[in-house]
Every structure is written in structure tokens, then in C-alpha cells.
Amino acid sequence: MGDTRTIDYSVIFHQSPVGMCISAQRIIQVSNRTLDQMFGYPPNALAGQSLSVLYPSSDDFERIGARIVPIMNAKGSYSDDRIMKRADQELFWCHVSGRSLTPGDPHGAGIWVFEDLSARRPVSAELTPREREISMLLAEGKTSKLIAREIGLSPRTVEMHRAKLMRKFGASTSSELVHRLLGAVL
């Protein structure tokens, strides 16, 4: 391994081809140019902002924040595909990965990476926060029973949301719904 004293990690962070930010207590401390551009913000405008500005709703922000805690506590990292919101209010699918820098405090300090999936996975229906949450879990391949257990609903309620999603996406089977959620053309 080479001499790391000559590597400027700040330049690497700011020039990265993926969106990145450092957060503390869910407040963006610093973001790179790619993240600012991906979400449609001027350079450095996200510093000091709550991560909630990147979510479609405060409900999405709270639910995903709660979902992250046990996973980060167990693994130290977290990732998912979710719908996010640009500065102009456009919704888009995004792959988000993060790692806690403060073991035992998942929302303490963390580093987050964002990949825009909109080119291959467009948002094609208006969804409620709960439908976005269930869509995210269906796209992960989870069953209604697992989703119900994970988010504290009855399997019947999850099935009701799945049926609404099937209507919104014009899907006749659950597998067709998942394909449409993933942006696959059938």
C-alpha cells in the first residue's frame, strides 16, 4: 500500500461520481457536488439542512429513520432503494447506503452515498408515504407477512396496500408489480 499522506481525501469526496454526505443527528454537515446536483441544490446549500429536505414527506423521513436504527445497530451499515425528492419537488428512485461513524448511535455521525436510479427506474404513479414504504420493501423481495412484521401492520393491511399499488401500476400479478416497481418493462 502506498503513502496515504499524499492523498487528498477532501478532493476525492468532492469529486466522487456518486452523491455523498456526512450527517450528524440527521443534519447534513457537508455534501459533495454530485449530491447537490442530483437533488438540484446550489453548491453547499445542503450544509446545515435536515436530511428531511431530501424525502418526499416528513412521514417518509420518520419511518425510514426508525427503520434504520435496528439495522444500523446490528450491522453498522444500511442500504435500500427508496423514492427521494429533488429541490423542484420531482420524485425519483434512489439507492441509498450509509455507515454509522458512531457505534450505538445510528443517527449520530454517518456517511451516506446516493445513486440516482431514475434513468432505469422512473416514478410512474402518485404514492402515499405508506405505499412508498411498502413499495420499497416489495422491491426488496419481501412477502406481505414479512413486511407486516417489519413495519407493524397486519398482513391483511399490507395486502390492501399491495392491491392499491397493483391498480396504480396496472399490474395483474404481484410479480408484475415488483417488475414495474423496479422499472422493468414487461
Same domain as 61, residue 108: yes
Report the CATH number at residue 157: 1.10.10.10
3-state secondary structure 5-34: HHCCHHHHHHHCCCEEEEEECCEEEEECHH
Average pLDDT over residues 31-42: 97
Q: What pLDDT, on the 0 to 100 scale, is given for residue 150?
A: 85
Residue 122 belongs to some domain of the structure: no
Residue 186 lies in a domain: no
Q: Flag whether 79 is in a domain.
A: yes
**Looking at the domain assignment, is residue 36 inside a domain?**
yes
35, 114 Cβ separation under 8 angstroms: yes
Which of 26, 51, 31, 28 lies closest to 43 in space, CA to CA?
A: 31
Average pLDDT, the chain: 89
pLDDT of residue 43: 95
Q: What is the pLDDT of residue 99?
A: 95
Domain closes at, from 116, 142, 165: 116
- Out of 60, 90, 116, pick the residue that ends a domain: 116
Query: From edge to edge, which strands make up the β-sheet containing 91-100?
Result: 27-31, 19-24, 109-116, 91-100, 77-85
Mean pLDDT of 43-49: 97
- Give me the number of domains the chain comprises: 2
As a whole-number percent, the residues of the chain with pLDDT over 90 amount to 55
pLDDT grade for 185, boundaries at 50, 70 and 90: very low
Residues 6+ apart with CB under 8 A from 35: 19, 20, 21, 46, 114
Q: Are residues 103 and 43 in the same domain?
A: yes
pLDDT at 142: 87
Instruction: Kindly state the average pLDDT of the residues 149-169.
Output: 88
pLDDT at 5: 67
Is there a domain that residue 16 lies in? yes
1-15, 35-49, 64-78: least confidently modelled range:
1-15
More confident residue, 27 or 142: 27
pLDDT of residue 186: 33
Look up residue 26 and give its DSSP letter.
T
Asked if residue 121 belongs to a domain, the reply is no
End-of-domain residue from the set 116, 145, 173: 116
Average pLDDT over residues 2-7: 68
What is the domain extent for residue 152? 129-181
Which pLDDT value is given to residue 20? 98
In a domain, 23, yes or no: yes
Q: Are residues 82 and 159 in the same domain?
A: no
Q: Grid coordinates 443527528 are at which residue?
A: 25
The answer to whether residue 124 is domain-embedded is no
CATH number of residue 39's parent domain: 3.30.450.20
